[in-house]
Amino acid sequence: MTGKRQVGMIVGIIGATGYTGSELVRLLLGHPAITGFSLASVSHKGSRIEQIYPHFLKLLSAPLKEAEDVIAESALVFAALPTGVGEEYARLCFDKGVPYIDLSADFRFGGDEQTYEAWYGKRYRYPDLHDVSVYGLPELNRERIRGARIIGNPGCYPTGSALGVLPALAHGIAKGAPLIIDAASGITGGGREPAPAYHYPQAADSLTPYKVGSHRHIPEISRTLALCAGKAVPVIFTPHLAPMNRGILSTIYVPLSEEWQVQSSDTAFRFPPSPLIHEKAGAIRGCYEDFYRNEAFVRILPDGLSAATNRVRASNFCDISIHLDASGSTLIVVSAIDNMVKGACGQAIQNMNILFGFDEKAGLSGVPSSF
């Protein structure tokens, strides 16, 4: 970027009437530097945002325009579009010098077109844009985000998974064996026009695994962890659909390196667990606290408290709790995020704040709702 705007920004949102687009509007309404919105929607062009989402009445009245008009009048553009749709808008923004934050998978793989094509069945139209794009996980890539012109906002599952594992990789706590990630997401992850499995009669009162062994977030999770570890990190990932509107809870099983295992023959599956296990868990928790010491939105929970989605609802927080199995050989990390906020829109705004030199917490300081 050339020069940073500090106040009075008009932000553009392409795809403003989907769940993600409307959540961006909701959060940005509380941002002190944002004074106007330019909104685009293909499906509702000509209407106004408050007609589609009446909860914006008396808070925002804005027409829904063509995407090209939004790009022409905005200081920054968020794209809340299906994967494979936004590249043309990224091209227009890049050529006009307008920063572009993409919330689809289009810019999450940098120049690795082969992986993107293998998992999404699409090829890059503008490879040069991908070569300069930055993966927008602030806790890993903050310095690169500061100078980015195109940011690929991380996926929701990869965010909860990566934040739960990065310290274990950075401190050599994790062994080289595969990490096992079981994660459950709320129904809003299916979007405003969901597949039949996401409708209430199908999703209520049922916890359902889906895309077992083949979910598109697997390569993104692996790639992110490899960036931290400096080598490939095998991952076994299974997503589940949970009967709740919001949230992702990830339970991550991390085989411990020999240095971090509890080295005592009498601890195997002993109950109550040996004090050595409690001591080792405390040491690992200390490593996590140190890793995230300066991160405003990551909370390492105290001993005895497990991460839960209801304590991060509607917030940009990621809560992480640390546990060891009874044998002392496996670290169990539980992370909780709101899939619509830290898993999507809040993280996109956090990236905007870094990019423009705003307070990183601007627009994101709301207290979580626990019920």
Q: Which sequence positions are flagged as catalytic?
A: 156
Give yes or no for a contact between 102 and 152, defined as CB atoms under 8 angstroms apart. Answer: yes
Residues 111, 34: Cα–Cα separation, whole Å: 32
SS3 breakdown of the chain: % helix, strand, coil, rounded to 5? 35, 20, 45
Query: Which residue type, as a one-letter code, is found at position 49?
Result: I
308 touches 370 (CB < 8 A) = no
Asked if 64 and 45 touch (Cβ cutoff 8 Å), the reply is yes
Name the strand (E) or helix (H) holding 35: strand 34-40
3-state SS assignment for residue 320: strand
Of all helices (H) and strands (E), which one includes residue 10? strand 9-14
Rounded Cα distance between 221 and 53, Å, is 33
Report how far apart, in Å, the C-alpha atoms of 151 and of each of 20, 176, 347, 352 are. 16, 30, 11, 9
Q: Name residues whose C-beta falls within 8 Å of residue 119's C-beta, 6 or more positions apart in sequence.
A: 216, 218, 219
